[in-house]
Copies of this chain bind each other. A is one copy, B any other.
Amino acid sequence: MKRIGILTGGGDCPGLNAVIRGVVKGAVIQRGWEVIGIEDGFDGLLDRGKCRLLTLDDVRGILPRGGTILGSTNRGNPFSFPIEKDGKTVFIDISDQVVGTLKELGVEALVVVGGDGSLKIAQELIRKGVPIVAVPKTIDNDLMETDVTFGYNTALETATDALDKLHSTAESHHRVMILEVMGRYAGWIALESGIAGGADVILIPEIPFEIKRICRAVDDRRRRGRRFSIIVAAEGAFPRGGERVVRKKAEAAHQIERLGGIGEYVAREIGTCLDMDTRVTVLGHLQRGGSPTTFDRCLGSRFGIKALELIEKGAFGQMVCLKGRDIRSAPIEKAVRKLKLVNPGGDMVRAAEELGIMLGR
């Protein structure tokens, strides 16, 4: 009998439960394997009490539910784990403990469901000999080597639903409504929900914007008798200036903090130059919740099954992915090398601009 493990790392994402269910059903029913569920991401491997056998009963009824039944708080990278020492936080390598726990549990292969951060940890563990296959997870859809990741489709529905709701209020009250959505480095959510929600302005990190152009676009609409405007801004969008396009976490966080939230920044600037009533809505965590869409449930399920097939083949170090309509696999290292960003010259940006949407350039 074979025994495998599964953990989910990083932020919440609709479809995680579909992956877990897929792995458990495919392992137990078809292969007669056992599945150990590891709670709270890699943290769970530091505490045997957080590792438990997952049965078919455990995964019953979880398909329509958001979140993850395993929890996904990975506070610490086991290669640089924060501990308190003499009143200070120091970082130590406790990866041997992680490897040890897996051995003790008799786990012969580990399925890591995670984003950029979790996959990089997975890579280092692979170098230490842990047999890992990966399932990509990012609500922002910014991972390379896969057309799309689960959770993204559900997040789009939440964002577009918000835009539909803001439309009626904007129309009735002649306001500029600004919706801030997720996307620290990649503007996919802002761009796709903005096109679908009939936004007038879309701001994404890949295209630093000129605030004057935005004000002018809003003003033009007003002059044409359209007394409201809808702006969608990815949280990582920023004004053109001395800044370079950010690619690193620290820089983006700094940028966002400096502006006090991109939504508020844009509202202030428009309020200053146009004397129009503005309102900001920050969608935040609502985008990570909710029952997954059909697409996300199905994709998560297929990813889970494919992970088992990779284990059977011994294809460790591989990540499952979607190419067109098919599930395939790709090396984890290729997936984490860089982020999948919106192409400012690609057809989706071009479509947005041809629809009359201002992207701030």
Interface 9-residue window, one of A81-89, A127-135, A161-169, A206-214: A161-169
CA distance A143 to B11 in the complex (A): 37
Q: Is the CB of B324 within 8 A of A172?
A: no
Q: Is the CB of A285 within 8 A of B12?
A: no
Interface string of A294-306 (1 = CB under 8 A from B): 1101100110011
Interface 9-residue window, one of A59-67, A95-103, A252-260: A59-67
A195 at the interface (CB under 8 A from B): yes
A346 at the interface (CB under 8 A from B): yes
Interface 9-residue window, one of A22-30, A114-122, A330-338: A22-30
Number of interface residues of A (CB under 8 A): 81
Q: Is the CB of B157 within 8 A of A293?
A: yes
Q: Is the CB of B282 within 8 A of A282?
A: yes
Contact of A324 among B18, B171, B324 (CB under 8 A): B324
Query: A26 to chain B: which residues have CB within 8 Å?
Result: 354-355
A173 at the interface (CB under 8 A from B): yes
| 16 A-B pairs (CB sep. < 8 Å) | A11-B173, A12-B169, A14-B168, A63-B196, A63-B197, A66-B168, A67-B169, A71-B174, A73-B174, A156-B293, A156-B294, A157-B293, A165-B286, A302-B351, A305-B351, A326-B346
Known: A25-B356, A26-B354, A302-B348. 11 other contacts (CB 8 A): A22-B351, A30-B356, A71-B173, A73-B174, A156-B295, A164-B291, A192-B295, A305-B355, A325-B348, A326-B346, A327-B351
